[in-house]
Structure 1
Amino acid sequence: MTDTILVLIEDTLAPVDVQHLLALHEGEQLAYHVLVPADSDRPLLPTIVDNLGLGDLKDALARLRGKEPTLTEAKATASEQLAATLAEFAAAGRSATGEIVDDDPLPALRQAAVDREAREVAIITYPHAWLDTFHQDWASRARETLELPVLHLYSGTSELG
């Protein structure tokens, strides 16, 4: 049986993200399973802090006004992100499978770890000032509940979270 790496993402993986991920296990034949949350319920304060930190006043004000994607919109976005990410794996010469999960991806991540007998988890996100600082990010939460190695990479870079 091939070892499985679970990959939790918040946005489409860029070619550089896939290359960084594959380079971690160069020469090994692994199965990759990607989980993409349908993000329809973004936390108010952390989202606003991130928006303001990036100088994105428009999105911060929209979030303050309660504007969030509907579940249908969130699922459509997640579906596009999953398809594009799987295409990036294929372009790198590796196949991958994937699924869309609920807004809070941790229950699905725990279940996938059991179902697929995962060897480790790679979580690829953008930096989130509030969540990362207070260890409420997906990687910190996953480390608390999973009995697996959890690697947190920042999207588009080789920086660890």
Structure 2
Amino acid sequence: MSEMILVLTEDALTARDVENIVSLHRERDVRYHVLVPADPGQNVLASIVDHLSLGELREALDAALGREPAPDEARREAATSLQESLDALLAAGVEAHGQVVTDAPVPALRTAVRDLDVAEVAVVTFPHAVEDTFHTDWASRARDELQVPVLHLYLGTNQVG
């Protein structure tokens, strides 16, 4: 029976992300389950600092002014990201399924690890200056809570978090 690899991503996986993830398991019989949160639950101040550290002034202002998408729009965006991620994984020749989660990301991971008999977790995010520095990012929190290996990758790169 194949092993389950759980992927938590905050945006659609790119071809590079898929190659990075799939290359880790080439010698094993695996299948992938992708989770995309509709509400990533980021701290407003941390989000502002993240955007400013990346030179994203407009996004920092949007975060400061609370210009977050409405819940229905957030779910649609997450569904689009999920479908694009699944399409990319399927194009790479691997079995993949997934879901949009409305729960907070780390509790959703905990539930999926328990219910799906997950062998390992890949968390794929944009860099988050505050959370990554203070180890409050999704991957660090998952490592503290879950009893499976957790890898943190940055979206669109081959950098490990």
TM range (shorter): over 0.9
- Which residue type is aligned with residue 154 of structure 1? Y
Give the whole-Å Cα distance in 2 for the aligned partners of 1:159 and 1:55. Answer: 19
Aligned to 2:7: 7
Give the whole-Å Cα distance in 1 for the aligned partners of 2:8 and 2:154. Answer: 12
Deviations 1:40-71 (A, max 9, x none): 64311110001111111112112111211111
C-alpha deviation, 1:103, in angstroms:
5.4
Equivalences for 1:146-157 in 2 at 5 Å? Answer: 146-157=146-157
SS of the residue 2:32 aligns to: strand
Give the whole-Å Cα distance in 1 for the aligned partners of 2:40 and 2:98. Answer: 19
- The 8 Å contact of residues 11 and 125 in structure 1, kept in 2 or not, is answered as yes
Residues 5 and 40 from structure 1, CA distance in 2 versus in 1: closer, same or farther, beyond 3 angstroms? Answer: closer
Are 1:84 and 2:64 counterparts? no
- The 8 Å contact of residues 47 and 60 in structure 1, kept in 2 or not, is answered as yes
Alpha carbon RMSD of aligned pairs, Å? 1.2
Aligned to 2:53: 53
- The 8 Å contact of residues 50 and 130 in structure 1, kept in 2 or not, is answered as yes
Identity of aligned residues (%): 50
Residues 29 and 36 from structure 1, CA distance in 2 versus in 1: closer, same or farther, beyond 3 angstroms? Answer: same
Residues 39 and 55 from structure 1, CA distance in 2 versus in 1: closer, same or farther, beyond 3 angstroms? Answer: same
Deviating above 2 A after TM superposition, structure 1's stretches of 4 or more consecutive aligned residues are: 39-42
- The 8 Å contact of residues 40 and 104 in structure 2, kept in 1 or not, is answered as no
* Mean CA deviation greater in 103-112 or 85-94: 103-112
- The 8 Å contact of residues 40 and 70 in structure 1, kept in 2 or not, is answered as no
Give the whole-Å Cα distance in 2 for the aligned partners of 1:67 and 1:156. Answer: 25
Give the whole-Å Cα distance in 2 for the aligned partners of 1:136 and 1:150. Answer: 14
Q: TM-score with structure 2 length normalisation?
A: 0.96
